Structure 1
């Protein structure tokens, strides 16, 4: 178990992520959400202003030591349960005493009653209908309401903004939180926690008339940077490439694909609002190329999914197996398929019913039953 310390400003240093600006009296790290165990005051002055004990959430060091002497075993058991599977990320994002791994949805405790707004990454769309119907059958009073942004396109970036603004109870995200998100939450008096619930593969799909064995990752980058403009440059037909993707202001695909080279994005790249819009556009334009998700595109007959190879190689790995009926889960899980990302639920840690909804929803998805729905939706479960 990590022991948290304090710095010369009296702030508590998180023993897990080393965040050093947790104020005196904090019970959870404001960056990663990990419970703060105990912190001693180094070289403290025996004056009343520098007492020999530091209060952590209103409990003195003496009381805290007694508490952990009696209850430490039970706390350790909770953490152990949360981090048992070898394929579950053992970072501060996933270790929390109220994030647990249950077998079935009906075992998940403290599911609040009410109507709760959620939103974020459009990649979650295939998961929502079947999963939420199953949740509703077990917890009919746990109402889940998908909420689109008022003035922007839906996406993981707008979802996080809406969560920070109090418009959502929890958010669905297709890329990790950034330092600016944690900072903004801290400024507003709460913290954020992200918990991985599955793995998704990036999918490149084309108009059916484009017949090539696959693309290498570097070729994909060059297409979206405008360096490759015709399919004959990559062994395909003499057709101009019309590339579609999500606007990087709202979605994460291009951000993850291009990284620091995002500023080289070709101005000719056209943006799609969601996957339905993307499939419709790519299937209607000869030479079109779209970037999407294995889960969102699984089973689509009007487009052609492409195999992808690492770097500049020609060792193409297909995104689907069984004639396109199943996601290539083995390749996504072991990294053989080169373009993957983790999917997260982002919890607003503010002590309100919104936090309870986020924790309950995360536990429902991490249950063995919930993970089966993630697999059915075309994603790779994070639990075996």
Structure 2
């Protein structure tokens, strides 16, 4: 009986050991099968992840390149002449060079006028005469310019691409806190002739300006574009802003107005705050103003924020002037304006010291 019980116990132990081994074997088998399934599915999951990542990258790329120089269609191939406003100098240097780098099929050649000084007026005149394919302007078209175009069988379109401020600069030694727009206009019309009349020293005012027919910017806001440029008999005419700055540095009572971008950083002249009223004068430079001795190391920067928010009282709109004649001139003028109005173009315009319009 004892032997029989011992045999039964031994058999039961062997059965238990067998069942335990069977269970462990099944678990191991399931783990192996699961591992194999995971391994087989892994490439497909990776592939799907790669596809999703590539898709997302593609969408991101499209969103960032949807408004660059490369994405503008109908840009003509060849060499084209353009010219006009001297205020656009930094745009020509910075922005146009980027355009031609990204669109090598397009070659832009800046052309100076054969007679007179370069500027908005001379550029538009050269466009009307067929010397340019499009023009750059810091002022709106006049009725006379539109009439001349109509006589020749086409029209002119002005397309705004940026905003500039008009700054007033004087000799650094002049002790004047600033001017109102009305005072500035009276100085240039000959009604105010001494700095004493506007809170300065007893010193005759010597206004400098480009000639009306070659004017780059304007300070008179009249609907009659011809009358707004009638200047006083005491105005001394200069060829360019470079000449004006040179004259101001040796003329204690001198004054000149031009693109803020071109004159605010100059160290030999001082920009004056301007205002619509005398109790709200806004500087055309970012304060604090750099002192003359520090100017070469730390140039004054244009107060683009005041220009953008409208608090600065005199601004100039930057226009591409396009000849509407259904020819290559219209095609390149339209394409150039579109290039400047891309996200990349607007960012580059701001880098050049102006205010974007979109």
TM-score bracket for this pair, using the shorter chain length: 0.7 to 0.9
Equivalent-residue separation in structure 2 for 1:166 and 1:221 (angstroms): 34
1:276 pairs with 2:242: yes
Candidates 237, 246, 249, aligned match of 2:210: 246
Aligned to 1:344: 319
1:188 and 2:152 are equivalent in the alignment: yes
1:381 aligns with 2:336: no
Stretches of structure 2 that go unaligned for 5 or more consecutive residues are 1-64, 290-299
What secondary structure sits across from 2:166 in the alignment? strand
After TM superposition, the structure 1 stretch with the greater mean CA deviation from structure 2, 198-207 or 234-243, is: 234-243
Rounded Cα–Cα distance in structure 2 between residues aligned with 1:335 and 1:133: 30
Q: How does 1:114-125 map to 2 (within 5 A)?
A: 114-125=78-89
Q: Hey, what does 1:61 align to over in structure 2?
A: none
Deviations 1:325-377 (A, max 9, x none): 43222321232111112110011122222222111211111111111221122
Contact kept, 8 Å, 1:216 with 1:314, in 2: the verdict is: no
3-state DSSP class of the match of 2:215? coil
After TM superposition, the structure 1 stretch with the greater mean CA deviation from structure 2, 235-244 or 174-183, is 174-183
2:331 matches 1:356: yes
Give the 5 Å matches for 1:127-276: 127-254=91-218, 256=220, 262=228, 265-276=231-242
Match of 2:265 in 1: 299
Which structure has more helix as a fraction of its residues? 2
TM-score, normalising length: structure 1: 0.68
| Alignment CA distance shift 1:154-1:224 (3 Å) | same
Query: 1:209·1:286 contact (CA, 8 Å) conserved in 2?
Result: yes
Deviation at 1:252, TM superposition (A): 4.8
Residue 110 of structure 1 is matched in structure 2 by: 74
CA contact (8 A) 1:221 1:257 kept: no
Q: Alignment partner of 1:331: what SS?
A: helix
Contact 2:116 2:239 in 1 (8 A): no
Q: Distance in 1 between matches of 2:333 and 2:229?
A: 34
Q: Which residue of 2 is the match for residue 22 of structure 1?
A: none
* TM-superposition CA deviations, 1:7-48 (whole Å, max 9, x none): xxxxxxxxxxxxxxxxxxxxxxxxxxxxxxxxxxxxxxxxxx
CA distance in 2 between counterparts of 1:241 and 1:180 reads: 32
Residues 239 and 102 (structure 1), Cα distance of their counterparts in 2 relative to 1, 3 Å cut: farther
Quick one: higher RCO (CA 8 Å, sep 6+), 1 or 2? Answer: 2
Q: Counterparts of 1:263 and 1:167 in 2: how far apart (Å)? A: 25
> RMSD of the TM alignment (CA)?
2.1
Report the equivalent of 2:303. Answer: 328
Query: Is the 2:170–2:271 Cα contact (8 Å) retained in structure 1?
Result: yes
The 3 A distance-change label for structure 1 pair 137 and 264 is: closer
Residue segments in structure 1 that go unaligned for 5+ positions in a row: 1-100
- Give the number of aligned pairs: 282
- C-alpha contact (below 8 Å) 2:169/2:270 kept by paired residues: yes
Distance 1:378 1:187 in 2: 37
